[in-house]
Amino acid sequence: MVNKKNLIKKILAQTYVWLILFLMYLPILTLIAFSFTKATNLGTWTGFSFDLYADLFKSQEIMTALGNTLIIAFVSSAISVVLGTLGAIGVFYSKKRAKKSLEFVTQIPVVNPEIVIALSLTVMFVFMGSYIFRNSIFSFWTLLAGHIVLSLPFVYLSVKPKLEQMDPSLYEAALDLGCPPNRALRTVIIPEILPGVASGFLLSITLSLDDFIVTAFTRGSGLLSGSNQIETLSTLVQAKIKKGPIPPEMRALTTIIFLIVLIIVVSVTISNGRKGKKAKLRKGRQDR
């Protein structure tokens, strides 16, 4: 009787999980399906074709927005990873009182609404442009600064748990053996926290790719847009919604992005699984 109840609970739990997953992925699957038809309105099927994928790479507007988005995402993520990782290491090895204060300060941008960050940056840039540079400073650099401010705390939070899991005596042992601090940092600490650094980098890219509020408030002219205002995928979609339907080519682009992300996630999962198995085998051999 008990086994029967446990079996029913297990079936209901699995059914619930699969139902939630189905509801989560249904819109994405629908979008992917309609990326193979050229109909302008989503929900109308005019026949199977790859025309949207061909038209996607012919659209100068979308390619420019995509290029701007990728450049901003990768540059801001790289800078955020360097600053966030060094900041996390610095906070980790700080004194107890300073450590608590710094950890509290780094959590504020995470819980802050994005609109607060965007408005704060805008006020600061307007003030600097009016009283310091005597000219508008909104450009790629202000947009880059906004994305760094947005993603930096998340890099810190990704690296911090790996530092706490690390054996603190490893760094001290390297110093005792005559290793310079900079070299000990590169050869001892960085390899130990590398998974957290990689997670922070991917999270930064994700935050930057789909950001709209900070981008809309801090962008100026530059990048692939030339003398025009920088257009990213999020701002392009927003502009198109105001005028009419979203370009059907965007369905093809979102499908490509989803497949790339899926491949990366599956690859990382498989790699981590293999590393975990190897670590267990090594541990088993050492125990013997």
For residue 193, what pLDDT is reported?
86
- What would the pLDDT profile of 122-163 be if each residue is shown by its tens digit? 999 999 988 888 888 899 999 999 999 999 989 998 888 888
For residue 106, what pLDDT is reported?
77
Contact call for residues 206 and 130 (beta carbons, < 8 A):
no
For residue 76, what pLDDT is reported?
94
Place of tokens 């920088």: 230
Q: How far apart are CA 83 and CA 151, in angstroms?
A: 11
Task: Please enumerate in sequence order all residues whose Cβ is within 8 A of that of 53, keeping only pairs 6 or more positions apart, or say none.
Answer: 35, 252, 256
pLDDT band for position 286 (50/70/90)? low
Q: Tell me the fold of 75-246.
A: MetI-like fold (1.10.3720)
Q: How far apart are CA 187 and CA 179, in angstroms?
A: 10
Contact call for residues 116 and 44 (beta carbons, < 8 A):
no
- What would the pLDDT profile of 39-80 be if each residue is shown by its tens digit? 877 777 888 888 888 888 888 999 999 999 999 999 999 999
Q: Does residue 3 register a pLDDT over 90?
A: no
Averaged pLDDT of the chain: 85
Tokens in use for 282? 């090594």
Q: How far apart are CA 68 and CA 232, in angstroms?
A: 6
Average the pLDDT over each of 96-100, 139-143, 278-282 and give the range with the smallest value: 278-282
pLDDT band for position 279 (50/70/90)? low
Q: How far apart are CA 197 and CA 82, in angstroms?
A: 9
Q: How far apart are CA 28 and CA 38, in angstroms?
A: 17
Max alpha carbon distance in the chain (Å)? 80
Q: Write out the residue limits of the CATH 1.10.3720.10 domain(s) in the chain.
A: 75-246
Burial grade of 202 (CB within 10 A; 0-12, 13-18, 19 or more): middle
Task: Give this prediction's pTM.
Answer: 0.83
